[in-house]
Amino acid sequence: MADKNDSIPWTRKHQPKSPRDIAGQPEAVESLMRFVRDFDRKRAKKKAALLCGPVGCGKTSSIYAVAAELGMEVLETNASDFRNADGITATAGSASRQMSLFGRGKIILIDELDGISGQQDRGGAKAVEEIIEHSAFPVVMTANDPSDKKFSRLRKISLNIEFRPLPASALKQALTGIAASEKIKVEDGAIETLVNRSAGDLRGAITDLQLL
């Protein structure tokens, strides 16, 4: 059984520390690594990367793992927290042009891009385009489904990187590894049950594992 006194969410405790730790997405992670590592604002054909894929498949974790590998910091903005251009620009706009305190490289992460696709949006997508155009640092966005037509230009100016649904084998390997790390005994078939009901969402499956 899991330690009920463990207040740290296992999704954070066992967050991948290296690109090699990302489950089941080798091609996508390598594409992201190349984009960030080789980013040159003046010569880049694509000034942003758009990571697309279902919930819990490793998009955001990959960004933090790549940043750690390259010694960079991440400035994260969740697009769903803002419904207008001013909110997004105030949070991510200035940071995209300022050097970090210690001179480290920086990734501007705009998470959950889908969150600005509703009727309440007031120029949010356009504001993101402006941030990309003027950013001194690589901008990386995540979306579950960026098919909304207002994102058509963002798709065009970005390197589109597909994160596929995680196969059952990758989910099982990740959950088994976490259980071993936590020194817990999982009942026969419990891992398979978590995998089967996860619908490919590793983050959700890890949360369920902690609750066993």
CATH number at residue 116: 3.40.50.300
Whether pTM exceeds 0.75: yes
pLDDT digits (tens, 9 = 90+) for 53-103: 999 999 999 999 999 999 999 988 877 665 555 555 555 555 555 565 566
pLDDT digits (tens, 9 = 90+) for 28-49: 999 999 999 999 877 778 989 9
Domain that holds residue 186: 166-211
155, 162 Cβ separation under 8 angstroms: no
Same domain, 196 and 131: no
Residue 211: other Cβ atoms inside 10 A: 9
Number of domains making up the chain: 2
Same domain, 178 and 91: no
pLDDT at position 120 over 70 = no
Q: Which of 180, 168, 133 is nearest to 24 (CA)?
A: 168
Same domain, 155 and 195: no
Segment 154-160 shows an average pLDDT of 93
What pLDDT was estimated at residue 116? 75
pLDDT digits (tens, 9 = 90+) for 86-97: 555 555 555 555
Same domain, 141 and 187: no
138, 35 Cβ separation under 8 angstroms: yes
Same domain, 124 and 111: yes
Flag whether 5 is in a domain. no
Same domain, 72 and 118: yes
